[in-house]
Structure 1
Amino acid sequence: MTLKIAVIGCTHAGTAAVKNIAAQYPQAQVTVYERNDNISFLSCGIALHVGGVVKDAGGLFYSNPEELAQLGVLTRMRHDVLAIDVKAKTLKARNLDTGELVEDNYDKLVMTTGSWPIIPQMEGIELGNIQLCKNYGHAREIIARANDAQHITVIGAGYIGIELVEAFRDQGKEVTLIDNMDSVMAKYLDREFTDLAGKELQERGVQLALGRTVKGFEGEDGKVNKVLTTNGSFDTDMVVLCIGFRPGTDLLKGQVDMLPGGAILVDDYMRTSNPDVMAAGDSCAVRYNPTGKAAYIPLATNAVRMGTLVGMNLLTPIVRYQGTQGTSAIKLFDWNIASTGMTEAAALAAGMNVKTITIQENNRPEFMPTYEDVLVKLVFENDGRIVGAQIMSRADMTQAANTLSVCIHNRMTVQELAFVDFFFQPHYNKPWNLLNTAGLAAMALLREQQAQTAQPAKVEVA
């Protein structure tokens, strides 16, 4: 009997899952249902395309239906899945080009439906030139409409919003950045870093409108021309919404276990609460190693790892998922910024008792012709266990965040980080590696606080 596998959605996680399933089960009948007219689009490259760094958007695809066909996979493009019955193991889909209804059954279902931008329901949201930023179609729309826009407003100061702001400024556009937080990239960075980033944006001519919430939009001739907020209004020719994503899991609501926000819960082998339904990518929650709890962290890196594991564990649980630290990075003009694990603010909000150290050090010896300042912050618990880190420099030191991610994954302490082995070469670093130095500073802080706690109380003699 031929094994029938249905895959719903085919971007990062879906493409990784399909390729691995086809490689490991060449006799299986694999059918992909994708509502778009393309697969495997790297949405993280949209800002690069908008800014002209990536000239050909075709380079942002790393697979296509023809490649999957060579692997024996049937890819049903422009097919929107309307309903799934996990008990009956059936699905219904509509061909968006012909209107034809398709019914299918499966032995194993793979949900890689990803996420979709959050669209606030407010006055004027239907006006023209209010754009989303997620897929290839959005990229083309943004570029086409930006050509005729002089003043562009970006709503949301996360990574995507920041990257778009830089791309628009490089094109000479007037840019306003609005966010309800009082600092940029607050999800990823603490104040020591966000203040520097915000200053850089302002010096580059970006109007920051932080600490305010968008209430609605006004327009003329069907196109937006004003953004209304809780603290003032802003004239604009175009708006790009970058306020976050929600998992696309409505098809399985009430049929598998999910977080309250709709992210599907999976075990270490990518299995949902239904043994014949697997899931991966932005539609899922992940195990967040700093806390050990399930969290919604939509990142392409998580998606491709999880999709690959679907293929490996499709019939038998073989390779375990190792969780994530949510490690990420961004280039902001001349700055290179990266973070991993929890910020100090996030850790405190989660009720954790953490300490932090922030050091500023040069990336290599001062006897070298050039060197750059590097800012490093460690977030750690009372026993020294590292739960988060951030790094920022005009030199590219972002790979240090990957090293610190491994430290968090392995539950390493600042004491271990202080003396772990790193190479020394004057072209690249100092005899005491930057991360060793951060670990030593954290150790010193712990010793100082332990000494203060251990001091006996003074007794006054009358």
Structure 2
Amino acid sequence: MKIAVIGSTHAGTAAVTNMANMYPEAQITVYERNDNVSFLSCGLALYVGGVVDNAEELFYSSPQKLQELGVTMKLKHDVKDIDTDHQTIKAQNLITGITVTDSYDKLVMTTGSWPIVPPIEGIQFENILLAKNYDQANTIIEKSKSAEKITVVGGGYIGVELVEAFEKAGKQVTLIDGADRILNKYLDPEFTDILEEDFKSRGINLALNETVKSFQGEYGFVKRVETDHNIYETDLVIMCVGFKPNTDLLNGKVDMLQNGAIKVDEYMKTSDPNIFAAGDACAVKYNPTGNHVYIPLATNAVRMGTLVAYNLMEPKMKHIGTQGTSGLHIYDWNMASTGLTDTSAQAGHVKVESVTVEEVHRPGFMPTAEKVKMKVSFDPLTRRVLGAQVISKVDVTQSINTMSVCIQSGMTVDELGFVDFFFQPHFNQPWNFINKAGLKAAQ
């Protein structure tokens, strides 16, 4: 059996590692544009900010490790065409320029995603950078050394993490986003307000509800960013406006969402029975609504990649869906969310009710007790839990993993009030704040 794998970051590496162990007789070939595999892009800001000194620590596998499993690694190879009728692929060696043709019995598409590059005037300037892979991280580090004023476009996770890294490095930072607040896809306003006030207190310029119209520069380098409201002087721009799936190779050949994300069934199979897909290239079942949506997260990718291996020969293990669970640490704040927020529910025309509790994380007689804010959203008819958010200066983010399980299992908000949690004064209150959210909803 010949298995061709295109792309090897999170999903690809997980699929290849498991397939090599499960099907030792198979001939597995990996085609990868870069000269490395498995880069943890979620650690990019930590690397840029100097929290992680050695970038090698952000790779959890290597071409050598995969080769030791008997996998043929075609690094620096760019796949140019897939003929699904004849089950062949054409790839160009980016070093020699030679094009090779290969056949497959099973094809695994783990091509991931790529940063969105809006068609903005001046986007081609040399010091306008993207933030996704290892090479881009190194370029950001190098160019930021001589930059005094840095502009980050996009207030999602990577954007705000880079803002923090640059501010800590003593840079003058401007964050531009077309939305009226940061992190609007993950948290509701009462949570993002806390972070925005912290950013402002540190001298970070928040240019929110502003759209970039053009980049202006001299001698090939950007010097100013023009929005629909202002002009900002800058020495360096980092674009973090989101990601799109890398799926052009299969356009018109398998079923996709409108944004190009590949649709897969619960066994990771596409509409072509010989093609499987996983990771940022795919849409995934979103349990709070039951719809297939695009949620590019490393956690989703490794699970999906592993399931490809399990189901490659026959359907064995179903994908149980995702809640889009994620967490973030910014300055002194720890935050996490899962499922629907009020904002995302409204955007998706889903009716939810929500309760918010504000507690201290452990009894007041302890030496310290930090404030915790948690919000739980639920279906007003079925009472089923649909989402949760938390923020605190103490790390209580694991509570969101608990809430993710509650959503996945279909728990009601009323049941949430009486879930059995331990009590120990070092860690929590006799009534856990998760319980208190359920009790408040039941009133």
Q: In 2, distance between residues paired with 1:90 and 1:294? A: 29
Give the SS at the match of 2:383: coil
Equivalent in the alignment of 1:64: 62
SS at match of 2:417: helix
Q: Aligned letter for 2:418?
A: F
- The amino acid of 1:402's aligned partner reads N
What is the rounded CA distance, in whole Å, between the counterparts of 2:438 and 2:298 in structure 1?
30
Q: Paired residue for 2:362?
A: 364
Cα distance between partner residues in 2 of 1:11 and 1:349: 31
Task: Tell me how far apart the structure 2 counterparts of residues 348 and 282 of structure 1 sit (CA, whole Å).
Answer: 25
Query: 2:432 corresponds to which letter in structure 1?
Result: N
Give the equivalent residue in structure 2 for 1:427.
Answer: 426
Structure 1 residue aligned with 2:14 = 16
**Offset of residue 352 of structure 1:** 1.8
Could you tell me which amino acid in structure 2 is paired with residue 74 of structure 1?
T
Query: What is the letter of the counterpart of residue 396 of structure 2?
Result: M
Matched, 1:155 2:153: yes
2:283 is the alignment partner of 1:278: no
Q: Which residue of 2 aligns with 1:248?
A: 246
Matching residue of 2:196: 198
Q: Superposed, which structure 2 residues align to 1:99-118 within 5 Å?
A: 99-118=97-116
**Structure 1: where are the runs of 5+ without partners?**
445-462
What secondary structure is seen at the aligned counterpart in 2 of 1:268? coil
Q: What residue number does 1:413 align with?
A: 412
Structure 1 residues 158-173: aligned runs within 5 Å:
158-173=156-171
Displacement after TM superposition at 1:216 (Å): 1.1
- DSSP-derived class of the 1:198 partner: helix
Amino acid corresponding to residue 111 of structure 1 in structure 2: M
The one-letter code of the counterpart of 1:420 is V
Distance in 2 separating the partners of 1:384 and 1:291: 14
Question: Could you say which residue in structure 2 is the equivalent of 1:269?
Answer: 267
Q: CA deviation at 1:71?
A: 0.4
1:96 corresponds in structure 2 to 94
CA positional deviation for 1:384: 1.6
Q: 1:48 aligns with which of 24, 32, 46?
A: 46
Give the deviation of 1:205 after TM superposition.
Answer: 1.5
- Give the SS at the match of 1:110: strand
Q: Deviations over 1:31-84 (max 9, x none)?
A: 000011111100111100111000011111111111111100000000000000
Q: How many angstroms apart in 2 are the aligned matches of 1:122 and 1:181?
A: 17
Deviation of 1:204 (Å) = 1.6
Aligned to 1:125: 123
| Within-5 A mapping of 1:215-364 | 215-364=213-362
CA distance in 1: counterparts of 2:349 and 2:67, whole angstroms: 50
**Among 206, 222, 227, the residue aligned to 1:208:** 206
Structure-2 separation of matches of 1:41 and 1:284: 19
The corresponding residue for 1:177 is: 175
User: 135, 144, 147: which is aligned to 1:137?
Assistant: 135
8 Å CA contact 2:15–2:308 kept in 1: the answer is yes
CA distance in 2, matches of 1:351, 1:303: 27
Which of 26, 29, 42 is the equivalent residue of 2:24? Answer: 26
- Give the aligned partner of residue 436 of structure 1: 435
Aligned with residue 79 of structure 1, among 77, 102, 107 = 77
CA root-mean-square deviation: 0.6
Query: AA paired with 1:394?
Result: K
**Distance (Å, rounded) in 1 between the aligned partners of 2:181 and 2:119:** 24
Q: CA deviation at 1:165?
A: 0.4
Shift of 1:171: 0.5
Aligned to 1:448: none
CA distance in 1, matches of 2:327, 2:200: 21
2: distance between equivalents of 1:136 and 1:438? 41
Deviates more, 1:3-12 or 1:341-350: 341-350
> Is 1:401 aligned to 2:400, yes or no?
yes
1:378-421 Cα offsets, whole Å, 9 max, x none, are 11111321111100000001000000000111111111100010
1:261-315 CA-to-partner distances (Å, cap 9, x unmatched) read 1000000100000000000000000000000000000000000000000111110
Tell me, yes or no, if the aligned pair for 2:34 and 2:75 is still in contact at 8 Å: yes
**Aligned pair 1:378/2:360, yes or no?**
no
Cα separation, 2, equivalents of 1:104 and 1:125:
37
Instruction: Count matched residues.
Output: 442
Q: Which AA in structure 1 matches 2:238?
A: V
SS in 2 for 1:226: strand
Runs of 5+ consecutive residues of structure 2 not aligned to the other structure: none
Following superposition, the deviation at residue 442 of structure 1 comes to: 1.0
Structure 2 length normalisation: TM-score?
0.99
- Counterpart amino acid of residue 410 in structure 2: R
Counterpart position of 1:456: none
Contact 2:30 2:73 in 1 (8 A): yes
- How far apart are residue 367 of structure 1 and its match? 1.0
How many angstroms does 1:349 deviate by?
2.2
Q: Is the Cα contact below 8 Å between 2:357 and 2:433 reproduced in 1?
A: no
For each residue in 1:131-169, what CA deviation from the matched residue of structure 2 results, as whole angstroms up to 9, or x when unmatched?
000000100100000001010000000000000000111
Once the 2 structures are TM-superposed, how far is the Cα of residue 184 of structure 1 from its aligned partner?
0.6
Question: One-letter code of the match for 1:219?
Answer: G
Question: 1:206 is aligned with what amino acid?
Answer: I
- Supply the AA of the counterpart residue of 2:56: G
Quote the Cα distance in structure 1 between the aligned partners of 2:119 and 2:280.
22
Cα shift at 1:113 = 0.1
In 2, the alpha carbon distance for the partners of 1:411 and 1:203 equals 41
Tell me the amino acid that sits aligned with residue 378 of structure 2.
F
Amino acid at match of 2:352: V
Bigger mean CA deviation after superposition, 195-204 or 234-243: 195-204
The CA distance in 1 between the partners of 2:365 and 2:99, in whole Å, is: 71
Q: What's the counterpart of residue 452 of structure 1?
A: none
Match of 1:453 in 2: none
Structure 1 runs, 4 residues or longer, greater than 2 Å off: none
Q: Kindly provide the amino acid, as one letter, of the partner of residue 325 in structure 1.
A: Q
* Structure 2 Cα separation of the partners of residues 433 and 45 of structure 1: 31
